Amino acid sequence: MSTLSTDRIGGLIWIAFGGAIVYGSWVMDRLTSLNIPPSTAPGVVPGLLGLGIIIFGMVLVLRRKSALVAAPSFAPSAVEAAKAEEPLDWKRILLSWALCLAYGGILLGRGIPYWALTVAFLFLHILLLDESGRVPARFTVRRTLVAAAIALVVATAVALVFRYVFLVRLP
């Protein structure tokens, strides 16, 4: 199966998933009995996210061949063959899962401020799992400072968007 047809199948799955989200947000209680304005109803944000998922799914389904792809080929290229021969790095996958479970499943909502927990999670994720150029990364001052800066900027941006755009205070 070629990459393009795999993308199309994936796009159809994402469109169906986005459609389910939009439907769920549409039938959600709008809390009109509490005189809540329609723009702040509980289903607005999930509905918009569902529409975004549908749009990106459609991009996968409808996209044309890239100029880099000359002709369909059923024989894997040397790069694809090399990637296929690489075994999965289960240690990295398990470390990522452990960080995600600790962050979202155990620590979030337990009294640690959202921004501080998110900065720590992103910092550790970047620092421990970065393999620039598939060479195991070494701890250097520059890498540590870059990871800290990215974590701080992303966590601050997310907290500000939720507070001032979605009008939701994060824990």
Pick from 92, 155, 171: nearest CA to 123 = 155
**Cβ neighbours of residue 108 closer than 8 Å, sequence gap 6 or more:** 114, 117, 171
HSE toward the beta carbon, residue 78, CA cutoff 13 A: 0
* Residue 130 DSSP code: -
> What's the pLDDT tens digit per position in 110-149?
888 888 999 999 999 988 887 665 555 566 788 889 899 9
CA 108 → CA 23, 93, 103, 113, 119, distances in Å? 29, 21, 6, 8, 12
CB-based contact 47:21 (threshold 8 Å): yes
Q: Where are the domains of the chain?
A: 1-86, 87-171
Residue 77's pLDDT band, with cuts at 50, 70 and 90, is: low
Q: What is the 3-state secondary structure (H, E, C) of 26-83?
A: HCCCCCHHHCCCHHHCCCHHHHHHHHHHHHHHHHHHHCCCCCCCCCCCCCCCHHHHHH
Mean pLDDT of 85-110: 83
Q: Which pLDDT belongs to residue 84?
A: 55
Q: What is the pTM of this model?
A: 0.54
Lowest-pLDDT range, 53-67, 74-88, 103-117, 143-157? 74-88
Q: Which pLDDT belongs to residue 136?
A: 57
Query: Chain-wide mean pLDDT for the chain?
Result: 80
Q: Which pLDDT belongs to residue 43?
A: 83
Q: Which pLDDT belongs to residue 67?
A: 43
Quote the CA–CA distance of 51 and 10 in Å, as a whole number.
16
Residue 104's pLDDT band, with cuts at 50, 70 and 90, is: confident
From the DSSP assignment, how many helices (H) and strands (E) are in the chain? 6, 0
**Cβ neighbours of residue 68 closer than 8 Å, sequence gap 6 or more:** none
Residue 88's pLDDT band, with cuts at 50, 70 and 90, is: low
Quote the CA–CA distance of 28 and 22 in Å, as a whole number.
10
Please determine, for residue 73, whether its predicted confidence score (pLDDT) is greater than 90: no
